[in-house]
Amino acid sequence: MPRVSQDRLDERRRQILAGARACFARHGYEGATVRRLEEETGLSRGAIFHHFRDKDALFLAAAEADAVKMAAVVAEHGLVQVMRDLLLDSDPDWLGTQLEVSRRLRTDADFRRAWAARLAAISTASRLRLGRQREAGVLREDVDLPTLQRFLALALDGLVMHLAMGMPADDLDPVLDLVEEAVRR
């Protein structure tokens, strides 16, 4: 029996993640039943849970894909660019599901650990970039880097919440200018 190639496996994994993400966005975490996950991915539960241990693992992997993309943008262009990208192109339903799920961070230690790992890539990228910017003399000198980083993270959280509630995004460009300017010299 021929072994399934790695490419096939990766492709299958991507197919599951794309469907699962759409399903979580549409129905929320609780509403994304196994039956709906099957419909949205076009695969059987057996196939889905061959690749992912359980629904939590599936959700975290879908969120992980975002985190990888965000960390790359942060490394190259900074956290404010992540916010500008969100303004231009975000899926409020998917953000809303992340909001719904973030409630569990307080009460579920395993989920909290997995989520923290997801955020670590972003905050490391942000710290490194701020460090380079400070060396380049771009940032204000009178506030320490951890405070600047927390300030940017707070603005990002606020933006995610704003968009997840379906609030208008078209008047936020000058607000992000203000955020950016507040950390600069």
Among 103, 113, 132, 185, binds its own copies (CB under 8 A): 103
Tell me the C-alpha to C-alpha distance, in Å, between residue 184 and each of 46, 131, 140, 148, 171. Answer: 52, 13, 5, 10, 22
**For its own copies, which is the closer residue by CB, 57 or 153?**
153
Closest CA to 83 of 174, 14, 148, 16: 174
Cα(123)–Cα(82) distance, rounded to whole angstroms? 12
* Residue 182 makes contact with its own copies by CB under 8 A: yes
**For its own copies, which is the closer residue by CB, 30 or 39?**
30
In whole angstroms, the minimum distance from the beta carbon of 170 to its own copies comes to 11
In whole angstroms, the minimum distance from the beta carbon of 116 to its own copies comes to 10
* Residue 111 makes contact with its own copies by CB under 8 A: no
Cα(54)–Cα(71) distance, rounded to whole angstroms? 25
Burial class (CB in 10 A: 0-12, 13-18, 19+), 26: middle
In whole angstroms, the minimum distance from the beta carbon of 103 to its own copies comes to 5
DSSP annotation of 106 reads G
**For its own copies, which is the closer residue by CB, 72 or 99?**
99
Residues contributing to the site for its own copies (CB under 8 A)? 28, 92-93, 96-97, 99-100, 102-103, 105-106, 112, 143-144, 146-148, 150-151, 153-162, 164-167, 171-172, 174-175, 178-179, 181-183
